[in-house]
Amino acid sequence: MGARPRSFYVLAAVFGLFVLFLYGPVLTILILSFQGPGGGLTFPMRGVSLHWFRDLFGPQSIGDIWGAFDRSLYLGLMVMVLTVAFAFLAGLAFRRRFKGATLLFYIAVASLVMPSVVVSLGIGAGFELLGIERTWYTSALGAHLTWTLPFGLLIMFAVFNRFDPSYEEAARDLGASDYQTIRSVVIPIVAPSLIGVALFGFTLSYDELARTSQASGSLNTLPLELQALQTNASTPNIYALGTLTTALSFSVIAIALTVFLILQRRRARLGSDAGKGV
């Protein structure tokens, strides 16, 4: 390892500025959410207080934010569970050739890159024609899955491309059934990646807006509510709400990373008893 070339410092500076660009704006609304009671939507800060957070929890709170928050949370959890389950199963299926595999793969990719407004329009029109009411737990759930499942599937591809099938062969040679092989061999090995899929499933759903727009029916999810509030926001309580929901996203990311690391450690510790004379 020699001295670093000059280009390193230039690129490091670019990277630093990019990170500032990435986090700076959110940091400003985080600061502004602690605005004093007399403060406005922009700097300067007129004192520091929790006034606007209390305002959110107050009786005359803006819009239906807590209802929207609950809906987004439950929807995110449902999408997370379904994304992990469906993507994992499909990942297993794709390890063997089957007729239609390529078509299904291209449909998944198409679902990922299809403009969200078109997906939303199609689902909305479908429910409208069938005379079924659009709700967040039916049409919006489906709309979210069209967005999270492709990510889940692509992650499972990446995982199974690197998966050594000799573990399963060993399990089968020892007399494990198909179910036992998956339950005791495959799942523990891919568990950290499933945490990754879960993280994508929850956060992408919790923050989804474009595909939800025509699919959520009369009750808003939190991002829809936020977008609606933003257009006529007059007090910093919208920043307080932004700070809270960002804090929730960060907690979810932190939990996912922690569980991921714990599983990695556990695997390193328990993965092999070779040479231990067990």
Partner 1 sequence: MTRTATSYLQALPLAATFLLFFVLPIGLVAVVSFFDYQTYDILIPDFTFQNYQDVFSSAVTYNTYVITLRFCLVVWAITLCLGFTIAYFLAFHVRSTTWQIVLFLLCTIPFWTSNVIRMIAWIPLLGRNGLVNDGLLALGIVEERQEWLLYSEFAVILGYVHLYTLFMIVPIFNSMMRIDRRLLEAARDAGATGFQTLVNVVLPLCKPGIAIGSIFVVAIVMGDFITVNVLGGGQIASVGKAIATELSYLQFPPAAASAVVLVAITIVMIIGLMRIVDIRKEL
Task: Restricting to residues 85-114, name those near partner 1 by CB under 8 A.
Answer: 85-87, 89-90, 92-94, 96, 98-101, 104-105, 107-111, 113-114
Residue 277 beta carbon to partner 1: minimum distance, rounded to whole angstroms = 32
Told to check if 66 binds partner 1 by CB under 8 A, we report no
Chain center to CA of 175: 38
Among 199, 205, 220, 237, binds partner 1 (CB under 8 A): 199
Q: What amino acid is encoded at 216 in this protein?
A: S
Q: Which residue is listed with tokens 């605005």?
A: 35
Which CB, 133 or 178, lies closer to partner 1? Answer: 178
Supply 278's token pair: 């067990």
Among 39, 76, 124, 192, binds partner 1 (CB under 8 A): 124
For 115, list phi and psi in degrees, rounded to 5: -50, 130
Residue 261 beta carbon to partner 1: minimum distance, rounded to whole angstroms = 11
Which CB, 51 or 119, lies closer to partner 1? Answer: 119
Residue 183 beta carbon to partner 1: minimum distance, rounded to whole angstroms = 14
Residue 143 beta carbon to partner 1: minimum distance, rounded to whole angstroms = 6
CA torsion sign for 14, 207, 30, 225 is positive
**Which residues, 222 to 261, sit near partner 1 by CB under 8 A?**
223, 226-227, 230, 238-239, 242, 245-246, 249-250, 252-253, 257
Told to check if 153 binds partner 1 by CB under 8 A, we report yes
Separation CA 18–CA 14 (nearest Å): 6
**Which residues, 6 to 35, sit near partner 1 by CB under 8 A?**
7-8, 11-12, 14-15, 18-19, 21-26, 28-29, 32
- Written in H, E and C, the secondary structure of 80-146 is HHHHHHHHHHHHHHCCCCCCCHHHHHHHHHHHHHCCHHHHHHHHHHHHHHHCCCCCCCCHHHHHHHH
Q: Which residue is listed with tokens 């891919």?
A: 190
Among 115, 133, 184, 265, binds partner 1 (CB under 8 A): 115
Told to check if 170 binds partner 1 by CB under 8 A, we report no
CA torsion sign for 175, 177, 181, 183 is negative
